[in-house]
Amino acid sequence: MHIPDGYLSPSTCAALYAGAALGWYGGLQRIKRTLATRMIPLISVFAAFSFVLMMFNLPLPGGTTGHALGVTIASIVLGPAGSILAISIAIAIQALFFGDGGITTLGANCFNMAIVGSLVAYATYRIVAAGAEITSRRRLLAAGLAGYVATNAAAFLAAVEFGIQPMLFRDASGVPQYAPYALGVAIPAMMIGHLAIAGVAEGIIAAGLVAYLQAADPALLQSTSGLAPGATAACQPSMRHPQRRWWIAIALLAWGEWSASSFSSAEGRARIAAASQNRPAPPVAPTGLQRLSSLWTSPVPAYAPPVLKSTSFGYFLSGMFGVGLVIMLSLALQAYLQHRRGAGQPG
């Protein structure tokens, strides 16, 4: 998944350096606010552990082997901020000392694997393991799933970065200047290997390491468990029915996204019917939807800023903007929660 120099255009590299810089800044600030002196050796050792873990050849079902990134276990033990820094340090040493990966693509590699990988792994682990006790088997499932999802999220981003190159950077005769395959080729080519091998390897190693820590050193799983030290799941009323969260999440994901105008077009009505077990859509949009649809107009409708002529570049910019916004909101929420926690503790 490491992108070498030469595959991405300078402007893509610059944009991803900027995205990575946001993550690095946020991670450093968070570490400085907590226990900076304690975290420096811990992050360094975890970066080294992640580096060495990448050299482990894990036998996979089917006779092949794969290797893990270590981003999931770093997110579970250190939290997302520590993981972002640890995995970025490991990737930087690979590029600057061992020549694996590139210098111009260092920002892209850190953005994909360290930042997005850490945030996705952490979020998946926390959601799936919500309320489970430290020694619960659900935490193994959570770690395995987090590893699988995080690796594939990072690979998907890399595939999109490859895939937009020929759309944006061609010479006058149509020769692609950087990675030559469009999204239709780049995404399947990249994802098949990661869905089948790399994601599985990261998931198996993450679940195996959590199982080991549950038996040998459960304290390391405490800080990101969401449980107060010594608490059990039964003490936390909001976690009593984790299945409900799943049903709500599935319900939100399963249905489509319609606008008021979808009800008046034949194509829109057909899509609504197809997503609603072939029940015909109402002849007019519901009044509530009509009233609320004019309440907010998106500044970037259909992921294409009106000032840009290129739709693909608009998608790319929207993606960068969206990810940046999510990271900033996550950091703001973390800072707010930490502030509240600090204010609530007796002095």
Partner 1 sequence: MSRNRAIAATLVSLTRALGRALISERVARQRGLLQALDPRVRVIGLFALVLAVILSDRISVIVALFCAAVVVALLSKVSLASLAARVWLPVLFFTGVIALPALVLTPGEPILAPTGGSFPVTAQGMSAALLLIARVETAVTLTTLLILCTPWMQVLQALRAFHVPQDVVVMLAMTHRYIFLLAETAGQMFESRQSRTVGVFDGATRRRMTARTAGVLLSKSVELSNEVFLSMQSRGFRGDVRVLSAFRMRSRDYIGLVAFLVAGGVAVWIGRS
Site for partner 1 in 2-21 (CB under 8 A): 4-10, 13
For residue 161, the minimal CB distance to partner 1 (Å) is: 14
Pick from 215, 226, 201: which is nearest to 76 by CA? 226
Within 13 A of 215's CA, how many CA atoms are on the CB side? 7
181 touches partner 1 by CB under 8 A: yes
Q: What residues form DSSP beta bridges with 30?
A: none
177 touches partner 1 by CB under 8 A: yes
Q: Binding to partner 1 (CB under 8 A): which residues in 208-227?
A: 208-209, 211-213, 216-217, 220
For residue 302, the minimal CB distance to partner 1 (Å) is: 27
Q: Of residues 127, 133, 141, 180, which one binds partner 1 by CB under 8 A?
A: 180
Instruction: Considering only the stretches 102-110, 120-128, 260-268, 304-312, report the one whose residues sit in contact with partner 1 under the rule CB under 8 A.
Output: 102-110
Maximal CA-CA distance, the chain: 70
Altogether, the residues listed in the chain come to a count of 347
Q: Of residues 18, 21, 52, 228, which one binds partner 1 by CB under 8 A?
A: 52
Q: Of residues 1, 16, 43, 120, which one binds partner 1 by CB under 8 A?
A: 43
CB-nearer residue toward partner 1: 87 or 116? 87
Beta-strand runs (E) in 151-242: none
Torsion angle in degrees (nearest 10) through CA of 176, 179, 185, 189: 160
Contacts of 226-233 with CB under 8 Å at 24 or more apart are: 226/126, 226/129, 226/130, 226/131, 227/131, 227/133, 227/134, 232/133, 233/131, 233/132, 233/133, 233/136
57 touches partner 1 by CB under 8 A: yes
336 touches partner 1 by CB under 8 A: no
Q: Of residues 179, 197, 198, 272, which one binds partner 1 by CB under 8 A?
A: 179
Instruction: Considering only the stretches 177-185, 191-199, 250-258, 330-338, report the one whose residues sit in contact with partner 1 under the rule CB under 8 A.
Output: 177-185
For residue 181, the minimal CB distance to partner 1 (Å) is: 7
Residue 300: partners with Cβ closer than 8 Å, 6 or more residues away: 314, 318, 321
